[in-house]
């Protein structure tokens, strides 16, 4: 079950700080990573308290709830669930007993050897009713180690897992952060007052005035205790497989992911796209917000004016949240509208980050043409998504991925664009300064799965 999510953890040593409120702010800054459910767990010497529910962070946490969440350490979670798995039971963090007491856990990623691990647990006498989410599975694996020491229990458990995972775990006196050996998804470490913060992205740091320290390294576990900060390499550092889709779509532009700023990378991708796939046009527009920085880069490189030709209703959450195709099509219309006076009579380059099912591009080309656009040239700042992600990003099955079934020309006809083209994989992986092309997982584009 794919769980592309946002995770957060905080252990300040100044106990006057209201950690539930800081976690709330951190989660607000990670909201783009998941809008289905939100939760915060707080730990103190006495107990662990968790509050989680379906909805956006601001809907779930009212002032009176935050004020009841008192403790010394906190973790938080926002969840982006796949179709049909949006239920309260699947929200996080979750609480688990183990030989040494109890802990709460929040997870981002996807376990690929889940059925194998479930059978191992079943053989230990642990049977489950219904499906087991990846996060629950990891909790049960930790419990099944029978270790009293949480660090040792976590290490033993995660060594059995194949897949992509970032974890934050709290006990009554410890905060643990961990990233899988390949480092598919980001997890960063920051400093606040005398303590530390962990988050999927550092956009969660600036909001609480925490300072970025560094990334948690692939395979590294960080353990934050009251008077101590330790780090352990749990997995040997093998080949990195950084998720390139974090840059294409998922992460926030102001975040620094895998050491490089997302907005800058998107602008460079856009510039590269303009070199590879030029178009004769009067203006460049973006599909807001996902295509904005790539469109800016494209316009700058091509020497064509950038304009905001489409307007997004900021109160409608992401398209993919709609459970079926009929509703999804409707939601594109309520989410985006054209600014007629800008687009009418123009030859337009419309830049978006990706085409998955093609619904968004098809609706937008129609909308622009109905608003008087003379030509619409669609430019995509990632290569065709041909393969489903196995490591956490919510992508449909192969049959639903357009470019897997049809040619680009067929897709162009279906979306009724005057031209359609994508950046090449080499172009995309070539724009980075700190990471080499081989450091990335590009399985959704090329089908070479690192695990
Ligand atoms: P589609 O309409 O199915 O072709 O989806 C493409 C649109 O969805 C683009 O505007 C993307 O910004 C956005 N998108 C791409 N990947 C995802 C994802 N994993 N979850 C939600 N939205 C996505």
What is residue 81's predicted lDDT score, i.e. its pLDDT?
A: 73
Same domain, 145 and 14: yes
Same domain, 291 and 220: no
Query: Which ligand 1 atom sits nearest the alpha carbon of residue 363?
Result: 2
Residue 41 main-chain phi, psi, to 5 deg = -120, 135
**Is it true that the peptide bond before 289 is cis, omega within 30 degrees of 0?**
yes
Spatial separation of the C-alpha atoms in residues 336 and 194, rounded to whole Å:
44
What is residue 318's predicted lDDT score, i.e. its pLDDT?
A: 52
| Mean pLDDT computed over 153-175 | 96
Probe ligand 1: pick from 33, 320, 389, 411, max atoms within 8 Å of CB? 320
- Residue 34 Cα, ligand 1 centroid: separation in angstroms? 14
5 classed as catalytic: yes
Q: Is residue 250 part of a domain?
A: no
Given a cut of 50, is residue 193 above it in pLDDT?
yes
Q: Is residue 257 part of a domain?
A: no
Residue pair 174/71 in contact by the 8 Å Cβ criterion: no
What is residue 121's predicted lDDT score, i.e. its pLDDT?
A: 86
Strand partners, 420: 378
Same domain, 270 and 234: no
- Residue 403 Cα, ligand 1 centroid: separation in angstroms? 14
Same domain, 292 and 175: no
- Residue 356 Cα, ligand 1 centroid: separation in angstroms? 6
CB 287 near ligand 1, within 6 Å: yes
Percent share of the chain, pLDDT over 90: 77
β-strands 347-352, 440-441 pairing: unpaired
CB 355 near ligand 1, within 6 Å: yes
Q: Structural domain tally of the chain?
A: 2
pLDDT tens digits along 275-317: 999 999 999 999 999 899 999 999 999 999 999 999 998 877 6
What is residue 123's predicted lDDT score, i.e. its pLDDT?
A: 79
Spatial separation of the C-alpha atoms in residues 281 and 111, rounded to whole Å:
45
Given a cut of 90, is residue 46 above it in pLDDT?
no
Tokens standing for residue 375: 């030509």
- Residue 394 Cα, ligand 1 centroid: separation in angstroms? 9
Dihedral, CA atoms, 37, 43, 46, 48, nearest 10 degrees? 20
Same domain, 331 and 287: yes
Q: Is residue 357 part of a domain?
A: yes
CB 290 near ligand 1, within 6 Å: yes
What is residue 328's predicted lDDT score, i.e. its pLDDT?
A: 61
Given a cut of 60, is residue 198 above it in pLDDT?
yes
**Is pTM, for the whole model, over 0.85?**
yes
Of 80 and 126, the structure prediction assigns the larger pLDDT to: 80
CB 35 near ligand 1, within 6 Å: no
| Mean pLDDT computed over 399-424 | 90
What is residue 359's predicted lDDT score, i.e. its pLDDT?
A: 86
- Residue 419 Cα, ligand 1 centroid: separation in angstroms? 20
Range of the domain at 371: 262-446
Domain CATH for 440 = 3.40.50.2020
Same domain, 174 and 296: no
What is residue 315's predicted lDDT score, i.e. its pLDDT?
A: 79
Determine which residue's CA is closest to atom 9 belonging to ligand 1: 354
- Residue 357 Cα, ligand 1 centroid: separation in angstroms? 8
Determine which residue's CA is closest to atom 15 belonging to ligand 1: 354
Spatial separation of the C-alpha atoms in residues 158 and 10, rounded to whole Å:
22
Same domain, 180 and 273: no
Tokens standing for residue 351: 């830049």
pLDDT tens digits along 310-359: 999 887 765 445 556 666 666 667 788 999 999 999 999 999 999 988 88
Spatial separation of the C-alpha atoms in residues 393 and 5, rounded to whole Å:
9
Spatial separation of the C-alpha atoms in residues 281 and 81, rounded to whole Å:
39
**pLDDT confidence band for 84 (50 / 70 / 90):** low
Closest CA to 425 of 245, 267, 255: 245
Q: Is residue 156 part of a domain?
A: yes
Query: Which ligand 1 atom sits nearest the alpha carbon of residue 359?
Result: 2
Residue pair 146/124 in contact by the 8 Å Cβ criterion: no
CB 318 near ligand 1, within 6 Å: yes
What is residue 91's predicted lDDT score, i.e. its pLDDT?
A: 94
Same domain, 214 and 327: no
Residue pair 250/393 in contact by the 8 Å Cβ criterion: yes
CB 147 near ligand 1, within 6 Å: no
**pLDDT confidence band for 83 (50 / 70 / 90):** low
Tokens standing for residue 429: 């992986």
| Mean pLDDT computed over 62-70 | 93
Chain-wide mean pLDDT for the chain? 91
What is residue 319's predicted lDDT score, i.e. its pLDDT?
A: 46
CB 353 near ligand 1, within 6 Å: yes
Q: Is residue 249 part of a domain?
A: no
- Residue 355 Cα, ligand 1 centroid: separation in angstroms? 6
DSSP 88: G
User: For helices 359-370 and 325-335, what crossing angle results, to 10°?
Assistant: 40
Probe ligand 1: pick from 246, 319, 352, 385, max atoms within 8 Å of CB? 319
Q: Is residue 254 part of a domain?
A: no
CB 365 near ligand 1, within 6 Å: no
Q: Is residue 256 part of a domain?
A: no
Residue 378 three-state SS: strand
Domain CATH for 201 = 3.60.20.10
CB 285 near ligand 1, within 6 Å: no
| Mean pLDDT computed over 365-378 | 97
> For residue 422, what is the enclosing H or E element?
strand 419-422
Same domain, 178 and 269: no
> Hunting for tokens 């995660």 — which residue is that?
158
Same domain, 211 and 288: no
Query: Which ligand 1 atom sits nearest the alpha carbon of residue 4?
Result: 19
pLDDT tens digits along 89-119: 889 999 999 999 999 999 999 999 998 998 8
Same domain, 190 and 269: no
Q: Is residue 247 part of a domain?
A: no
Same domain, 210 and 282: no
Closest CA to 112 of 165, 185, 163: 163
């Amino acid at each position: 079950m794919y769980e592309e999510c946002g995770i957060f953890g905080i252990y300040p040593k100044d106990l006057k700080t209201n950690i539930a409120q800081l976690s709330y702010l951190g989660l607000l800054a990670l909201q783009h990573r998941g809008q289905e459910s939100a939760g915060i767990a707080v730990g103190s010497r006495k107990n662990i308290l968790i509050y989680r529910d379906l909805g956006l962070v601001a809907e779930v946490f009212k002032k009176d709830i935050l004020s009841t969440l008192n403790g010394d350490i906190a973790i938080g979670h926002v969840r982006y669930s796949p179709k049909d798995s949006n239920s309260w039971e699947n929200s996080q963090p979750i609480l688990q007993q183990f030989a040494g007491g109890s802990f709460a856990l929040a997870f981002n990623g996807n376990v690929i050897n889940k059925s194998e691990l479930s059978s191992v647990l079943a053989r230990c006498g642990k049977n489950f009713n219904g499906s087991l989410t990846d996060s629950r599975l990891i909790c049960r694996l930790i419990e099944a180690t029978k270790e009293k020491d949480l660090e040792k229990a976590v290490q033993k458990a995660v060594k059995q897992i194949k897949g992509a995972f970032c974890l934050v775990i709290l006990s009554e006196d410890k905060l643990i952060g961990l990233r899988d050996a390949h480092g598919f998804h980001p997890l960063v470490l920051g400093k606040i007052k005398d303590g530390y913060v962990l988050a999927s992205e550092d956009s969660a740091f600036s909001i609480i005035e925490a300072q970025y320290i560094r990334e948690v390294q692939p395979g590294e576990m960080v353990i934050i205790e009251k008077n101590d900060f330790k780090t352990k390499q749990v997995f040997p550092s093998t080949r990195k497989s950084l998720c390139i889709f974090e840059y294409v779509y998922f992460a926030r532009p102001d975040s620094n992911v895998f050491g490089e700023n997302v907005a800058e990378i998107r602008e460079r991708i856009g510039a590269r796209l303009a070199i590879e796939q030029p178009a004769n046009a009067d203006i460049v527009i973006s599909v807001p917000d996902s295509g904005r920085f790539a469109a800016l880069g494209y316009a700058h490189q091509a020497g064509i004016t950038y304009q905001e030709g489409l307007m997004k209703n900021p109160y409608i959450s992401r398209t993919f949240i709609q459970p079926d195709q009929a509703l999804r099509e409707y939601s594109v219309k309520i989410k985006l509208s054209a600014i007629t006076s800008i687009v009418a009579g123009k030859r337009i380059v419309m830049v978006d980050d990706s085409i998955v099912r093609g619904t968004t591009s098809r609706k937008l080309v129609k909308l622009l043409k109905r608003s008087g656009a003379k030509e619409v040239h669609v430019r995509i700042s990632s290569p065709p998504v041909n393969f489903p992600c196995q490591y956490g990003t919510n992508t449909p099955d192969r049959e639903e991925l357009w470019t897997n079934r049809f040619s680009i020309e067929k897709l162009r006809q279906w979306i009724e664009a005057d031209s359609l083209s994508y950046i090449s994989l080499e172009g995309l992986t070539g724009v980075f300064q700190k990471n080499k092309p081989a450091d990335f997982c590009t399985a959704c584009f090329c089908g070479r799965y690192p695990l």
